[in-house]
Amino acid sequence: MKNKEDQIFEVGEKNDAFSQYFIGQSYLKMLTTEGVNIANVTFEPGCRNNWHIHHKGGQILLVTAGTGYYQEWGKPVQKLHPGDVVNISPEVKHWHGATKDNWFSHLAIEVPAEGSSNEWLEIVGDEDYMSNTP
């Protein structure tokens, strides 16, 4: 994906409410909050979120555009393309974001669970990002 408009869902606004948990610029468009929260999250090239954990509920990522990465703590980075699905179990420390040269978008689906929460952790710094991504 060469620019943020090349996708099937609306990009939304700059993700300022969560900017402290991202390196680079991301965009957020809530598609629905009825029953299950589903958001279109778009990352500019090189943008990624901090390590984080979804407690109790977990998360599902549906890749819709561009090229990105997903990594679980202690495991190798996975490269993501449109059509990929990532099921993130509760309590798994992970991060996701764009490759250094491409925009990236995914739908983020919060798996409903009583008492679920999201814990933001340390950043994925430039050195770790560049040395661990293919």
By DSSP bridging, strand 48-49 and strand 22-23 are: antiparallel
63 pLDDT exceeds 80? yes
Query: What pLDDT is attached to residue 43?
Result: 97
* pLDDT tier, 6 (very low <50, low <70, confident <90, very high otherwise): confident
Summarize pLDDT for 75-112 with one digit per residue, the tens.
999 999 999 999 999 999 999 999 999 999 999 999 99
- 34 domain-assigned: yes
Range 25-48 average pLDDT: 96
Predicted confidence (pLDDT) per residue in 19-34, tens digit: 999 999 999 999 999 9
Nearest to residue 51, comparing CAs of 99, 83, 17, 91? 91
In a domain? residue 23: yes
> What CATH number is associated with residue 35?
2.60.120.10
Q: Show the domain range for 25.
A: 13-132
